[in-house]
Structure 1
């Protein structure tokens, strides 16, 4: 496995608030790596820094050997990093099909679209049935599926997922995590930010535990799931 993403000594501020304090981690090609932690620990901030939506004060973010800090957000998408944002952020006034098309706005190879739709509908069959439907009329789970499908339309090398289970019923959470696993099995590298630590640790190969802007623990996801401190803090143990 080769290294895909390397974050080194990252510091991010919101005005005077030091939100991320020297965070370092890496993601290898083909892995699911998860960042877990309480609300406000800085998980979303890290994803936004990788995506170019926030500019860090210090540190390095290398993706496939290229420094992302020098690039604007739209160029980072073209380099192969797609984010599924917290709260889904679908275009509610557009149809499912149009939302998927919006995901491909950065691509030049428009000829393969029909093949890509089929690949997405294979992973997300419910979207196929609703392709002409207004996205705002979908259920929460379907909107989350659409947000994932829209990101996949950019043909990314790496998927950043921000709280994909938020606001979903337990059965839909299972379904969304199953979809993430299936997408990963096609070779997609995944960096997952998730408050549902139990589910995240179940599907990830490695995990980093974030506490108030710092990495408190890291290691094999299965081992961390058995750690008494992790169980007590995040798994209701």
Structure 2
């Protein structure tokens, strides 16, 4: 489904991604783990068209995403849940969700997608008229995820969904990620909480200072002493 080959990205003189290559197959949940500043968010921003690559390729089902404007990539079935939620604080929950469906022109389809999101997140339905800025951090993460689901994507890019949440809410968010994966959605997950990420993933990549240092089945990486010492607190 998603294939990245020899991807290089620069911020001015800073070489943020140094020739990374990775794949995410149809129906997989793949994690990209690593420390702060490793280049994880840069990778997602480049995939979704928010950053331009210096060289290399990013393809989705064989289509070159670097030739597709960022605002139309969602129409190819790829949606991005950003780091930090970025909900529209002064709009209601339902207004936020409808903003996620801006490419839909069929009111019936929009209503169907809204009900699908509410089935995944009953709490959002309960708070559909509440201002998004008054939600808890966990609820805002649910809203950001629900907003990304409003176009019925085949694939989700999720950037640090557990950031800033209590341990109880982290478990809830990861339970939701597992549920979405089981429903058939392909997921590329960027996450600092390596233990939780590896527990739910099929495969994973370790990103260190702009390069892929390790890759393989998530269970194998979770058992690897290098990963355990660097990211799992072992």
Using structure 2 for the length normalisation, give the TM-score.
Answer: 0.99
The Cα of 1:106 is off from its aligned counterpart by 1.5
The Cα of 1:81 is off from its aligned counterpart by 1.0
CA distance in 2, matches of 1:123, 1:132: 17
Match of 1:48 among 35, 45, 48: 45
Please say if 1:195 is aligned against 2:203: no
Please say if 1:163 is aligned against 2:160: yes
Please say if 1:178 is aligned against 2:161: no
Segments of 5+ residues of structure 1 without an aligned counterpart are none
Please say if 1:115 is aligned against 2:120: no
Segments of 5+ residues of structure 2 without an aligned counterpart are none
In structure 1, what is the equivalent of residue 29 of structure 2?
A: 32
Task: Judge which range, 131-140 or 115-124, deviates more.
Answer: 115-124
The Cα of 1:44 is off from its aligned counterpart by 0.1
Q: Is the 8 A contact 1:78 1:107 kept in 2?
A: no
Q: Is the 8 A contact 2:86 2:144 kept in 1?
A: yes
Q: How does 1:82-97 map to 2 (within 5 A)?
A: 82-97=79-94
Q: Which digits, 9 at most, give the CA deviation of each residue in 1:187-215, with x for residues without a partner?
A: 10000000000000000000000000000
The Cα of 1:43 is off from its aligned counterpart by 0.2
In structure 2, what is the equivalent of residue 213 of structure 1?
A: 210
Q: Which digits, 9 at most, give the CA deviation of each residue in 1:63-115, with x for residues without a partner?
A: 01100011110111111111000000000010000000000001233322222
Residue aligned with 1:24, SS: strand
In structure 1, what is the equivalent of residue 141 of structure 2?
A: 144
Matched residue count:
234
* RMSD over equivalenced CA pairs, Å: 0.7
The Cα of 1:179 is off from its aligned counterpart by 0.4
